[in-house]
Structure 1
């Protein structure tokens, strides 16, 4: 089932993929979960 993801989600996903430390990844994942519909 497709998801209607927001631009904020895609920005957070971009930060997650470019993160270099576990703390950066966790912060991006938390933001992804927060903006997910």
Structure 2
């Protein structure tokens, strides 16, 4: 099973999106509490 370049890029984009969401939630909770 070898991934194509496009699939790799998509996976990286999804990972960065989820990490950004988590960071945003953490920052918001820190500001609120």
Taking structure 1 as the reference length, what is the TM-score of the superposition? 0.45
Of Structure 1 and Structure 2, the greater helix share is in 2
Query: Whose relative contact order is higher, 1 or 2, with alpha carbons under 8 Å and at least 6 apart?
Result: 1
**What TM-score, normalized by structure 2, do the two folds share?**
0.49
